[in-house]
Structure 1
Amino acid sequence: MDNKLTKKVVRAGVVTTGTTLLLLMSSPAFALQRNDGDDPGSGLSVLQTLGLFVAIPLVLFGVIAGLVIVTDKSRKQQEH
């Protein structure tokens, strides 16, 4: 039992170390060099960014959750 726990701890340590090294090697400084043919568009405003990365995912989550609740057949079976 203790051997299995040790293996899990070692595995978690290796994964954490590997991920940390990967993140350190992929420095954002490499993104400052433009490639040929780059044509970056205009930046997003704060409201556009919040809408794109916060509001739209929350709305989609709500729609999907609502559809799951509405189409749930197990509740109908429990009532009968």
Structure 2
Amino acid sequence: MKDDIPHESQLVKLREKAGLTQEALAQALAVTDHTVRNWEKGRAEPRLTIRQVKTLCRILQCSLEDLPDDFGPVES
């Protein structure tokens, strides 16, 4: 992730570049669109499974390094 880009705007930028709505992203990750909005506004920290992280990278057409730092899988 680029350090000079705020977390929420980086996710919005990646989502919009992929041509996705918040609803489409939410559906692909099996979360609510309200959850995606909260991530984008920095109101909630993502708690994703490895499968969800892989899906996120695939649909956003990016690598794990391109995602905001808190979008990695939840450590157990």
Which TM-score tier does this pair reach, normalised by the shorter chain?
under 0.3
Query: TM-score, length-normalised on structure 2?
Result: 0.19
Give the structure with the higher percent helix. Answer: 1
Query: TM-score, length-normalised on structure 1?
Result: 0.18
Structure with greater contact order relative to length (CA < 8 Å, sep ≥ 6): 2
